């Protein structure tokens, strides 16, 4: 109990050994202070000192607990941030790969379109050549049918 009296007479809380650690010690300190009061004014003064010390102790403990909680939360957030950064890097790589694939697909699609146009042109040329060939064949047959030259051709020529 002597340490509690030194605690109250010393004024503000400075020594961690003299600060009550739990509710029982605070009750014991409060009861001791009240029984030692010589008058109502003295009891008020003592009660005010004990309650101020209790308030300061709670504030310091809450501040310490809050700081510790914030530090744990900060560590958790840092871990989550690192995980998110890794996921972001993976997503960026995936987007880059997808972009490259899309470029290749677009290039191949353009090449296919060009080949389709060439195929269409070649088909048109082939039809035109077939028509010309047919026309020439018809002209040849017609020319051979109207020919006054006998049909004996030299075997070495044909």
- What are the φ/ψ torsions at residue 35 (nearest 5 degrees)? -70, -25
- pLDDT given at position 144: 83
Provide the token pair at 19: 């600060």
Cα separation of 66 and 62, whole Å?
6
pTM: 0.43
Cα separation of 148 and 150, whole Å?
6
In this predicted model, what pLDDT tens digit does every residue of 102-127 receive, in sequence order? 999 999 999 999 999 999 999 999 99
- pLDDT given at position 149: 57
Q: Are 10 and 44 in contact (CB under 8 A)?
A: no
- pLDDT given at position 13: 39
């Amino acid at each position: 109990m002597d340490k509690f009296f030194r605690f109250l007479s010393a004024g503000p809380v400075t020594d961690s050994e003299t600060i009550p650690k739990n509710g029982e010690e605070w009750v014991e300190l409060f009861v001791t202070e009240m029984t030692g009061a010589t008058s109502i004014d003295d009891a008020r003064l003592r009660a005010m000192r004990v309650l101020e010390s209790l308030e300061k102790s709670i504030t310091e403990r809450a501040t310490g607990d809050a700081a510790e909680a914030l530090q744990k939360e900060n560590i958790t957030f840092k871990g989550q941030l690192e995980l998110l950064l890794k996921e972001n890097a993976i997503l960026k790589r995936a987007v880059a790969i997808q972009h490259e694939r899309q470029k290749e697909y677009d290039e191949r699609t353009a090449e296919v379109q060009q080949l389709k146009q060439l195929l269409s042109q070649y088909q048109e040329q082939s039809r035109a050549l077939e028509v010309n060939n047919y026309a020439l064949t018809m002209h040849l047959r017609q020319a051979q049918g109207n020919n006054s030259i006998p049909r004996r051709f030299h075997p070495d020529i044909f």
